[in-house]
Every structure is written in C-alpha cells, then in structure tokens.
Amino acid sequence: MSEEIRFPLLGEKFPSFEAQTTHGKIRIPDDFKGKWFILFSHPADFTPVCTTEFFAFQKRYDQFKELNCELIGLSIDQVFSHIKWVEWIKENLGEEIKFPIIADDMGSIAKMLGMIHPGKGTNTVRAVFVVDPEGILRVVLYYPQELGRNMDEILRIVKALQVSDKNGVAMPANWPNNEIIGDKVIVPPASDEETAKQRLEDAKAGKIECKDWWLCYKKV
C-alpha cells in the first residue's frame, strides 16, 4: 500500500525540514521566522515555462522584499543544475536570480508536500505555498505543468493577507480593483441581530458603508 501524500492544511504550522539550496543549506520555516515566505516548485530546470516564471519572479523580487516576503524555489534537480540554469538566465536574459532554489534531488520534500502528481511522472508540478511570519500556511496554489503562474496574483495575495491581518477585515474579489466596492475592504458580517443593527447605525454615522447589514465595507 503506497504512502498517502497530502498538502499541509491551511492554518497548520508549515512542515519543518532542512534543504540544500543554491545559497547553501536552509531550515524551513525556522530560518524565516518573522518573515513571510513563498515556497514554489517548478517541474525542471532548463525548461521554457519555468524559465519565464523565474524571470517573472525575479522582476518582482524587490516588491516581495518590500512586503517582508522571501522567495524560495524548488525542483528535484541537483544543485549544480540549478547553478548552471541561473547562470544561463543571467547571461542570456539579463536577470540575476537572487533567491535560493532548493535541490530536492531525492524528491523527499516534494513528496512530503504533495508536489508530485502521480499522473505526471516524477517532476514537481507548479505548487505555491504562502507562509506567514509565524510559520503558518496561509495559501496553497496548485498549477498543472503546462500552465505558467501569474506572479502579480501571488504578489497581490501577500499584500491582501497583510491588510486583512492588520485590520481584521476580509478582501473582496479582485482587490484592490473590485467591481462593487473598488479598493475598499469588507467588514466581517454580523453574526447576531444586535451587531446587524449596529452595522446600519455605523453606516448612518459615516463610519462604514453598507449595501445591507451583511455587506458592509470601508477604506483602510
């Protein structure tokens, strides 16, 4: 009977492990305590879609750093392959990859995190794990090998989570460009009659805006 693999669940502590990277050995999540980090896997070095993804991540590297968020790549290639690939990217595309890439050549980390799809051979699929400064897994994205990721969406996820955490609010679709409330954020829905009544009173007082007692929002 094969060992069951699964993603760590949202809200769980991210699994701990040590790994060899292009920047030396790192311990996850211990080495990133107090910071957000994004661990993302790619199928293989020296492949077209993965190359466009790494280029795109690096172009936004400073924006992630401004959010106190680190990037960590991973595939089952060996570290010398990672090193030659980032050299190729720098020499041919003019971008230096400044974040570490884990060399999971035995596949143990990928299996532990459910990054290997049984129907897609032994390569890792395009998984994305967003982890907060407390080491808690907040978001998981899972893409097929043939679909490159949207790095602006991943950047938006980190920004949105940070605004949500700081203000105790929820984030609408397409924030900060929501079709109903623009760049405003959603006040948590009332869970009792008294709070519902208070929501409408707050709206009358100009503290928040409401379409109804269950759909209230404000600027932050």
Q: Let me know if 216 is a catalytic residue.
A: no
Provide CB contacts within 8 A for 180, sequence distance 6+: 172, 211
- Rounded to 10 deg, the angle between the 151-167 and 48-59 helix axes is 40
The residue type at 104: D
Instruction: Report CA-CA distances (Å) from 205 to 37, 196, 213.
Output: 40, 15, 14
E-strand stretches of 3-92: 17-21, 24-28, 36-41, 69-75
CB-count burial class (<10 Å; 0-12, 13-18, 19+) for 168 = exposed
Task: Tell me the C-alpha distance between 70 and 153, whole Å.
Answer: 16
CB 32 within 8 A of CB 131: yes
Q: What does residue 198 show for φ and ψ, rounded to 5 degrees?
A: -65, -35
What whole-number distance in Å separates Cα of residue 136 and Cα of residue 116? Answer: 22
Q: Enumerate the active-site residues.
A: 50
